[in-house]
Amino acid sequence: MGKFSNNLWSWDFKWRRRLFDHEYEMAVAFMEEISDISIQHQVQDKLIWKADVSGVYSTKSAYSLLMPSSNPLPSKRNFQILWHLKIPPRAAVFSWRLFWDRLPTRGNLSRRNIPIQDTMCPLCGCQQEEAGHLFFHCSITRGLWWESMGWIHAIGPFSADPVNHFIQFCDGFGVGRNFSRYLSRRAGWWIALSITIWQHRNSLLFHDTPFQPQKLYWGPVMGFLGAFTFWKINIIDTPGHVDFTIEVERALRVLDGAILVLCSVGGVQSQSITVDRQMRRYEVPRLAFINKLDRMGADPWKVLNQARSKLRHHSAAIQVPIGLEDDFKGLVDLVQLKAFYFHGSNGENVVAEEVPADMEALVEEKRRELIETVSEVDDKLAEAFLGDETISAADLEVCR
């Protein structure tokens, strides 16, 4: 810090790092203050660190002293929401850095004395690149949030501050402070879209990849295993392999319903039991779909019996296949009593016809089994079934 020369003390500071712009005035004021202090060689020094009540220096107290007092702390609620989200650690770290304004935007880099040629937003070039402008107020990315606001029926201007913007977006449905399934969806989408904007921004800077907002939605959609249809239904396709058990469980936390896909050849397998147990844990209503009816050894009735015995499903078939294996041609809907045939190279042409004559007995048996199963949970249908009344397709449609 200094040395004596000819019984005179001279300061000799060596800074541990380069000073930030906002620290220069503090350093000058500090040097002016200590220049009036007389250091005597025969008197023992006594140092007291006033930034901490204990008088002892600590890194935490030093940073508290250097941080501008005008910078408010982020709201605790955004971190509470982030804590409850089941998202990848990298996404959580990104959210934390965005909330605390720690992303290496051009504005942050310039404030840390890192030489850069251009501090303007790389997307619009109108303002200095700050987190609030890049993600929310840039003319290129603003439309993405308008579209997202339409999905959650939110109306009104949103804040440029990431913390306030996050909380406003999560409260878009008018839900209170209770952490709900819908709140987690909105929070997850907010984080997914923010990460995708940042990734595409980096691709533009480092790989000269054109920034195309219309393609940005594929990033968060694929990242969260979602596919948004024109009916605004969020369809999540999760792998059935045992290596993806955790991903499946995370997906089930936010689902309103599920389809359990079972192989008509392999039937109910060990992983099928695991996934079904997860569905029960989160009380997700579900239906089973038996596929691969054109494969050798296909037996949907065996699979249905396994679902009843191994999975304890109180289930019944709502469709009957027309043929199996190489003879598979279509399906008979037990509700509408119509046969549907699949024509074309990929079965893309669906033709509705009457039930084949050779299948009428089987269709009548399976339809009666379906009505008997559904009547156990529907009083009106049970009265009609016990009274041997004719049950129409409309009666069954109501129970769907």
Mind listing the pLDDT tens digit for each residue in 346-369? Answer: 777 888 899 888 888 998 898 888
Say whether pLDDT at 153 is over 70: no
What pLDDT, on the 0 to 100 scale, is given for residue 258?
Answer: 86
What pLDDT, on the 0 to 100 scale, is given for residue 111?
Answer: 83
pLDDT in tens, 47-96: 677 777 777 777 777 777 766 544 454 567 888 888 888 778 888 889 99
pLDDT in tens, 107-131: 888 888 788 888 899 998 888 999 9
Global pTM value:
0.43
Say whether pLDDT at 306 is over 80: yes
What pLDDT, on the 0 to 100 scale, is given for residue 181?
Answer: 54
More confidently predicted of 291 and 220:
291
Query: What HEC string does the chain produce?
Result: CEEEECCEEEECCCCCCCCCHHHHHHHHHHHHHHHCCCCCCCCCCCCCCCCCCCCCCCHHHHHHHHCCCCCCCCCHHHHHHHHHCCCCHHHHHHHHHHHCCCCCCHHHHHHCCCCCCCCECCCCCCCECCHHHHHHHCCCCHHHHHHHHHHCCCCCCCCCCHHHHHHHHHCCCCCCCCCCHHHHHHHHHHHHHHHHHHHHHHHHHHHCCCCCHHHCCHHHHHHCCEEECCCCCEEECCCCCHHHHHHHHHHHCCCCCEEEEEECCCECCHHHHHHHHHHHHCCCCEEEEEECCCCCCCCHHHHHHHHHHCCCCCCCCCEEEECCHHHCCEEEECCCCEEEEEECCCCCEEEEECCCHHHHHHHHHHHHHHHHHHHCCCHHHHHHHHCCCCCCHHHHHHHC
Say whether pLDDT at 224 is over 60: no
